[in-house]
Structure 1
Amino acid sequence: MGRQLVPLTLDNLPDLPDPCRRCAFWELGPVGGEPVAGNGYSATEKEAWISTVLLEWGSCGRVLYVDNTAVGFVLYAPPAYVPRSRSFPTSPVSLDAVQLITALVLPHYQSQGLGRVIIQTVAKDVMRRGFRAVEAFGDLRWSEPNCVLPADYLLAVGFKTVRSHRALPRLRLDLRSTLSWREDVERAWGQLIGAVQKDPILRPL
């Protein structure tokens, strides 16, 4: 069994799980986004957004594969590329931070440490580009997968609340105090690969 975490491109964008591959919630502002979604053009808008960010900023996501099947992904970008974030009550995202937009690991592959590895990989990339932090909006009322990450998950992987809210706090992962992230990424990923080699069967949750 092989596991890979590869950069998101236009070529593998169709591999994202539904409905995420067609969702442009974050990529469009609240005013223009609803008509686009209603007309069925959100998939085209998402592709255009990915293309723009790739050309102007570079890689803005990762796709997680197990045996060549996409089982998870993450999206992130500087806040200037995420118009929807400006409508959140705890905005704006800090100028020294990259916004963790959204992430997902399919249910059958959860509770294996993959979510933490995805966040650590984002942190490593953001550090390499010279940013000081990763920020995200969390959902305190989260009950099922949606475009906003559960606040409990963000807290569990190292984020801290920087602006409180009864429903949608803004959280921050400060990279200045996480100098061991690079080693953590390599160690965690190595452990996961080692575990797969020893036990190639993924057990259900």
Structure 2
Amino acid sequence: MANELKAAANPRRSPGRPRDASREKVILTETLALLGELGFAGLTVDAVVARAKVSKATIYRRWATKEELAIAAFDLLPLIEPVETGDIESEIIAYIDQYYGFLRTTPLSSVLPALVSEAMHNPTLAERLNEVVQRRRESGIAMIRRAITRGELPATTPPDIAHELIVGPMLQRSFFEPANFRREDFLVMVRVIVAGLKAVGKATSSAA
């Protein structure tokens, strides 16, 4: 009886309506498009509401701030998954091809500069953006680590710096020299980077 009275006094709340994953994707897709068109400063919840055809309440139930919404939209972009061939040069080329394709066919080339620019004076956004970027770099860094384990690259190779050498030129060309954003140039860069990493290892071994 006591348990029955307790249950009556504290009725179990029925669960709320489950989140609609398809609706979330529409919201994030439209947010991503608006980021590319307007930048972070121009992005507003009202604009997302109009484009996604949802209510403000729907957005704020999922993302409390514009920063959270923008980062969630950025994280919607596909991950780059390295191809394991056992040869670091061919693996980097496959990695570059994916990156090249994403920069040409997704809003990445316009969205990332918008977020980086805002992050320079928005600590909250900077922290969240760094978390996402670091997580998305891990697959590329793991590719370098595997090459070190196989003995293709010297043990002294810093995986994070090697990854920056691979990705940096692509982002620089995409953001600042889009007219010179050519795949054939990146293939030359890959050969130079791999040769340089191997040469540094030989020089280090000779010095030792």
TM-score (structure 2 length as normaliser): 0.29
Q: Which has the higher helix share?
A: 2
TM-score (structure 1 length as normaliser): 0.29
